[in-house]
Structure 1
Amino acid sequence: MAFESRISMVKDVITELKKPDINRIGVYGLGGVGKTTLAKEVYREAVKEKLFDDVVIILNVKKKIDNEKIQKEITKKLGMVVDESEDMGTRANLLWARIKEGKILVILDDVLERIDFEAVGLVGVPNCKKRKLEFV
């Protein structure tokens, strides 16, 4: 059953994602309030509305342990063929090149530790601004 407040929150996130100057949104709140469900709904809605060329969702990032595992999962979900013998920096450059060639949404769910976006390859987006939405 969908709660009106949850539907409203999905609409708010989608509205923010449609803005050309918004490149990063953080959703935070206490455990168990539905942030993962929200992330999944945003994923489904972004795919349904065809807002992006590609949409990738990585669930349970906290279990991926390190930036390299996160990077590998993103490249895999984008269908990139990346040589495992390449160092992380080279793969980051390839990922960044892939992202800047199109309009791609990467959703990272359940992030508990700092992610080095530069090391992963998720930086260099022009006009990057951050929006945080509290989810309670």
Structure 2
Amino acid sequence: MSQPWSTALVVLGGLLLVWLLLVAALVVAGRRDERSGRLAEALRLLPDVVRLLRRLAGDRDLPRGVRVRLWLLLAYLAMPLDLVPDVIPVAGYADDAIVVALTLRSVVRHAGPQALERHWPGTPDGLAAVRRLAGLRE
């Protein structure tokens, strides 16, 4: 086999391995979140969370890195293709919720919980659920 083809196969194999590890991590995280009920909360709050993400991404007071992460998350949510296909039980539907929760944790770590409170469009109960998803204590 020629050098370019073997290099391409090695790169594709590496990408496939990384993807499989990511799927395994999402399955494990999804099971953990499913037991605690956080996944169900995240799915119920999806419309308000998407509005929150859009408002946070447009807030010029937040650090640029945080806003870039939020725009990348919004682009990922808008893509018709997922990291994990929806036909895979638990992980197929949980990957979006898990990626959102991880991004919210990053936003809170860099911008503070006040950013969530300032931009939350929903009810106080919904904000409490989002705070839990973001890893904040009540």
TM-score by length of 2: 0.29
| Structure with the greater alpha carbon radius of gyration | 2
Greater strand share, structure number: 1
TM-score by length of 1: 0.30
Greater helix share, structure number: 2
